[in-house]
Amino acid sequence: MVGGQEQVGVWKAGWIRRGWGEGAPLLRKSFDLDKGVSRATAHVTALGVCELRLNGRKVGEDHLLPGWTDYRKRVYFHSYDVTERLHEGGNVLGGIVAPGWFAGYFGPFGDKGYYGHDAWFSVELVIEYLDGSSASICSDSSWKSVEGPILEADLLMGETYDARKEIDGWDRPGFDDAGWFPVSLLDAHERLPETIESYPGKPVHTVAELPAIGRSEPKPGTYVFNLGQNMVGVARLKIDVPAGTEVVMKHGEMLNPDGTVYTENLRSAKAIDRYIAKGGGEEVWQPRFTFHGFQYVEVSGLPSKPEPDAVTGVAWMSALQETSTFECSNEKVNQLFSNIRWGFRGNYIDVPTDCPQRDERLGWTGDTQMFIRSATYLADIRPFYEKWLVDLHDAQHANGGYPDMAPFMGRLGFASAAWADAGIICPYVLWQAYGATGFIRPWWTQMKKFMELIGSDDNRHNGPDAESYGDWLHFNSETPTRLIGLAYRAYDAQLMAEMAAALDAADDVAHFMNEARRGKALFRDALFEGAEIAVKTQTACALSIAMDLLDGDDLEKAKQGLVQSLEEHNGYLSTGFVGTGYLCPALTKAGRPDLAVQLLLNEEHPSWLYAVNQGATTIWERWNSWTEENGFGDVGMNSFNHYAFGSVCEWMFESLAGIKPGAPGFQTLEVAPCLTDRFDFVKASFDSLQGRVSIHWKKADAGFEIELETPVPATARLPFLTERVPAGRHLFKVLPDDEETCLLNSVAPQAILA
């Protein structure tokens, strides 16, 4: 991909498709070059998803181009340097286009063709010649098209490929396209996106290939391949069968009691791929224009038992640089971290989705803001959110309300507490993680408009008739919707005051500090009845503490209420999507990190390790998505890859390991590990923008030893010691009982490098 924001001025290329038919048609244009080329750049996009081809090969390594946006407002193009792919004489530019998010099924409401009824392809090849002249080859009425081997292609339903219909050489010079048909051109009166611009994010790539670790035959002729990991992407098929054999691949995350693939939780998403063989030897096929969330692939239609390597999982994700490691002495916690990481991978496919397998896969704003701080540790998510913040603000309501999901799909609401607050929290977290006010400044006016809305007397977010999803999927412990809204209202105002200071907007600082005080007072009035807390749910108390909404005796009562609630639940959590991410940080802040550690290590449900004990390889949507007593949970909403409860990852880095930024962008570091004899050791590393931060603490013969490596000055807050240390490697010793901690050794960065 060409680096930076490639500019092409006004989009010149036409939008083309085959005149009729389903599936993913083949589109081609032959052209001749009679002089040397100094540079050639292809700019490609689609209303749908597409693949660009040039002289017999795919251009780039990206999947599902151009990605998902609100196509009514904008669509992105991707740019590729194809200079080395052109040659003098004949050349062929080709394209394949499928419905994708634009014209296919998506969402839980049975929508098909929400943005449009047909998929359209558009490309411009800009050629600069050695003699200084230039030319463009654009998609237009001169292109030709024909039905290809992809008979059906849908993100939710799956892909059908008839290899007998392959057309050898169709995208190479010398091919005779006399029997092909003229393309249809999008009429000028059809509504086009308001904006066509360069893609700002990272496109979807293959990030791993997973060979099957097991193969079973639960019933005659039906074979189930276990990939050992719940993943997102496609399954590659390798077979040698007679021509016309139709192989059906069904995808699922779990197995039924009889060993077949469980698909009832997919709702209307079929997630079935079909391959019709051409025969004559080994055939290898991988779908292009669909994706699934699955661990198991059920294969049927084969005339004989397949080879163990007949199915390989090909995992897709937006191509983000992963930035962290985590390891500890408890293998179940290590598996939990792996589950969190794989849930992140599977749900960061162009937009931050809620789940990747069923008929939903939407950019829910609540899930996004609840997990984003954890995501900043897992990968460099800057380009991903540069793109998604555009989606979010494209979807913002005229009254300032942020939507429940972005890109918006015309349903559900705006300004739902904890969901709409993504418009404030996501820019704030990105600024804190990367030190860039560029995540704030472009949206500041719109962020203030949202704050004006939720500060009004009667609003959906926190007003008397507040409507929201509440503490979604809590475990028998409901927190009033309005109380959650009031907590976020005050918290948002605090964050806005901090961001205003970073923008040198003094008037806004004063305004939002006042709004924060007002919001805290309203929250306190709703939480308390007289001098006592009226709502003692874990979520209510955790929000109070973690968001700094109370002071003095009120704060102490919230701390006591949180501990009391845990005791009432036998030391187990009862929080849902809203409360879970704040629960362990609140306990640590309340001086009870021991209880946070206990929550992490609990193994009955509801707990993180319960799912681990059941063999989970990603985070479940529900604490009881599957239980030994009742089997599968509510099939109407039961994802086994849903990252919201994985928000504990933030606490695992910042408190259990003990590394978090002391200033935006990790210009300084705060080190405060949760030293506990429940672990023999904890090791973590994070590649900040300043360099790698790593910490390793372990139990010693007496007390603990801590090895810290930091690229920036750090403040170590350890038992009985607060020590400011420079960049470098430092070894601390924490002795038991006698209230002594010492800095044993420090090594400057230069010495480390030497």
Chain centre to alpha carbon of residue 725: 35
The pair of structure tokens assigned to 280 is 């004559």
Query: Contact 437/664 with Cβ under 8 angstroms?
Result: no
CA distance 746 to 440: 38
Q: Please name every residue paired with 154 in a beta bridge, in sequence order, or none if there are none.
A: 158
The residue behind tokens 């035959």 is: 217
Among 6, 147, 621, 650, the active-site one is: 621
With CA atoms as reference, report the closest residue to 159 among 315, 303, 275, 278: 275
Q: Where are the alpha helices (DSSP H) in 44-199?
A: 100-103
CA distance 476 to 489: 25
With CA atoms as reference, report the closest residue to 396 among 387, 411, 406: 406
DSSP-derived secondary structure for 538-562: HHHHHHHHHTT---HHHHHHHHHHH
CA distance 250 to 357: 12
With CA atoms as reference, report the closest residue to 246 among 310, 301, 166, 307: 301
CA distance 563 to 556: 11
Query: Is residue 677 classed as helix, strand or coil in its secondary structure?
Result: coil
Query: Is residue 278 classed as helix, strand or coil in its secondary structure?
Result: coil
Judge whether 621 counts as a catalytic residue: yes
Judge whether 166 counts as a catalytic residue: no
With CA atoms as reference, report the closest residue to 86 among 156, 158, 36, 132: 36
Q: What burial letters (b/e) apply to 146-184, b meaning 16+ CB within 10 Å?
A: bbbbbbbbbbbbbbbbbbeeeeeebbbeebebeebeebb
The pair of structure tokens assigned to 583 is 């629960």
Neighbours of 103 (CB within 10 A): 24
The residue behind tokens 């039906």 is: 222
Instruction: Name the region of 166 (left: φ>0; alpha: ψ -120 to 50; beta: rest).
Output: beta
The pair of structure tokens assigned to 474 is 């809590």
CA distance 554 to 563: 14
In 437-508, beta strands by DSSP E: none
With CA atoms as reference, report the closest residue to 709 among 754, 661, 649, 669: 669
Q: Residue 386: phi, psi to the nearest 5?
A: -60, -40
CA distance 615 to 193: 45
Q: Dihedral, CA atoms, 613, 617, 619, 621, nearest 10 degrees?
A: -90
HSE (side-chain half, CA atoms, 13 Å) at 696: 8
HSE (side-chain half, CA atoms, 13 Å) at 124: 19
Query: Contact 53/125 with Cβ under 8 angstroms?
Result: no
Query: Contact 475/576 with Cβ under 8 angstroms?
Result: yes
CA 97 vs CA 102, 121, 469, 674: distances in Å: 11, 6, 37, 52
Among 51, 124, 253, 360, the active-site one is: 360
Q: Dihedral, CA atoms, 209, 212, 213, 217, nearest 10 degrees?
A: 170
Query: Contact 687/646 with Cβ under 8 angstroms?
Result: no
For 634, residues 6+ apart whose C-beta sits below 8 A from its C-beta are 622
In 329-376, beta strands by DSSP E: 348-349, 351-352
* Catalytic positions, written as ranges: 360, 621
